[in-house]
């Protein structure tokens, strides 16, 4: 099993658990203060992007059900 797990929450965020770092497009590393669990915004409504602040509640719908991707080309 991978050391990092990403959970796609129904009607909400992407929850990340494990050993990870988050980097911006310029290569800057977010200081996560040792966190090994946090949620990233998936709806675009958070005032704390890229992190989830719960702004999606009642405004974002997506049922997260796993499926198999087609083979790589």
Residue 15 domain-assigned? yes
The dihedral built from the CA positions of residue 1, 63, 25 and 49, taken in this order, carries a sign that is negative
Residue 1 pLDDT greater than 80, yes or no: no
* Residue of higher predicted confidence among 34 and 2: 34
pTM of the full predicted structure? 0.88
Residue 14 domain-assigned? yes
Residue 47 domain-assigned? yes
User: What whole-number distance in Å separates Cα of residue 68 and Cα of residue 37?
Assistant: 26
Number of domains forming the structure of the chain: 1
Residue 2 pLDDT greater than 80, yes or no: no
Residue 17 pLDDT greater than 60, yes or no: yes
Residue 45 domain-assigned? yes
Structural domain containing residue 46? 1-59
pLDDT band at 23 (very low <50, low <70, confident <90, very high): very high
Residue 71 domain-assigned? no
Residue 35 domain-assigned? yes
CA distances from residue 57 to 15, 30, 37, 54, 61 in whole angstroms, order as listed: 15, 25, 20, 6, 9
Peptide bond before residue 50 is cis, with ω within 30 degrees of 0: yes
Q: Enumerate residues 6+ apart whose C-beta is below 8 A from 49.
A: 41
């Amino acid at each position: 099993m991978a050391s990092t797990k990403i959970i796609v929450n129904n009607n909400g965020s992407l929850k990340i658990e494990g050993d990870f770092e988050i980097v911006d497009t310029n290569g800057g590393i977010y200081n996560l203060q040792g966190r090994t669990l946090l949620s990233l915004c998936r709806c675009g409504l958070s005032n704390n992007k890229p992190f989830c602040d719960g702004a999606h509640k009642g405004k974002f719908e997506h049922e997260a059900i796993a499926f198999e991707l087609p083979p790589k080309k």
